[in-house]
Amino acid sequence: MPDNWSYVFAAYGVGAGLLIGYWRHLARRLKRFAKSGGGADR
């Protein structure tokens, strides 16, 4: 079977994107609290 490196990089790229995206989402929310102390209560 050919190596299909493009599929390997795509899978790891999407995985990294999801983890980094969620990490940035959490960091933004914590930074907002540090600045104003407010946010939605869920």
Enter the tokens of residue 36. Answer: 């104003």
The nearest distance, CB 22 to other proteins, in angstroms, is 5
Task: Verify binding: residue 40, other proteins, rule CB under 8 A.
Answer: yes
Enter the tokens of residue 39. Answer: 């946010």
Conformation bin of residue 4: beta by default, left when phi > 0, alpha when psi is -120 to 50: left
Encoded one letter per residue, x for contact with other proteins by CB under 8 A and - for no contact, window 5-34 reads: x-xx-xxx-xx--xx--xx--xx-xx--x-
Binding site for other proteins (CB under 8 A): 1-5, 7-8, 10-12, 14-15, 18-19, 22-23, 26-27, 29-30, 33, 37-42
